[in-house]
């Protein structure tokens, strides 16, 4: 149920028309979200990423910028998201064995609405950029497990994936 008992869906008005949720009465709190995902690839592809020998250049630097930019543009990608002035976006990478790269995107804001979609969008864009940067080596890469890991702040409180 929504904040209004007469409207069962938060993104639809009483006539069934799409609407952006009214957050005007929500409290301003510090809100943080962390999302992750991974991309599996051939070991030689990951070696090129790790060693900085991909033909298109520094894969992780470009993917990091793509993730940050995507977080800032989330409301343009996801139709009913509020446009937000993010306070911080961090995109980190870690290697998982010899055939996978993991991304972890963290977003933060002090506002009336959360930043989960911004973190998820950042992780997704970073992974898609990795794919783009090394697809000439390995078109069989698999992007997987894009998910929210944790969120903090807001009326619903904190949540962490177990």
Among all chains, which residue has been given the structure tokens 């980190």? 92
* Edge-to-edge strand list for the sheet holding 29-40: 88-95, 100-111, 29-40, 142-152, 159-160
Q: How many residues are present in the chain?
A: 162
Give me the CATH topology for the region 29-154: Alpha-Beta Plaits (3.30.70)
Going from N- to C-terminal start, the domains of the chain cover 29-154
CA-CA distances (angstroms) from residue 52 to 45, 47, 143? 11, 8, 20
Q: What is the pLDDT of residue 2?
A: 41
Chain center to CA of 21: 20
Q: What is the pLDDT of residue 6?
A: 54
Per the structure block, which two tokens stand in for 75?
């409301």
Q: What is the mean pLDDT of each run of 10 residues along the chain (162 residues)?
A: 53 79 84 98 98 96 98 94 96 98 98 95 98 97 98 94 94
- The answer to whether 51 touches 134, Cβ cutoff 8 Å, is no
Q: What is the pLDDT of residue 18?
A: 80
Chain center to CA of 64: 12
Q: What is the pLDDT of residue 79?
A: 87
Active site residues: 132
Q: What is the pTM of this model?
A: 0.89
Strands, E, within 22-97: which ranges?
A: 29-40, 88-95
């Amino acid at each position: 149920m929504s904040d209004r008992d007469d409207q069962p869906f938060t993104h639809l008005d009483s006539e069934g028309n799409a609407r952006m949720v009214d957050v005007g009465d929500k409290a301003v709190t510090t809100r943080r979200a962390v999302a992750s995902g991974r991309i599996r690839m051939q070991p030689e592809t990951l070696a090129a990423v790790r060693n900085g020998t991909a033909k298109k250049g520094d894969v992780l630097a470009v993917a990091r910028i793509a993730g940050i930019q995507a977080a800032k543009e989330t409301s343009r990608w996801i139709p009913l998201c509020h446009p937000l002035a993010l306070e911080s976006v961090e995109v980190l990478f870690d290697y998982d064995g010899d055939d996978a790269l993991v991304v972890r995107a963290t977003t933060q804001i002090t506002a009336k609405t959360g930043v989960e979609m911004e973190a998820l969008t950042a992780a997704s864009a970073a992974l898609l950029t990795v794919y783009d940067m090394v697809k000439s080596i390995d078109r069989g890469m698999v992007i997987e497990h894009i998910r929210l890991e944790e969120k903090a702040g807001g009326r619903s409180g904190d949540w962490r994936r177990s």
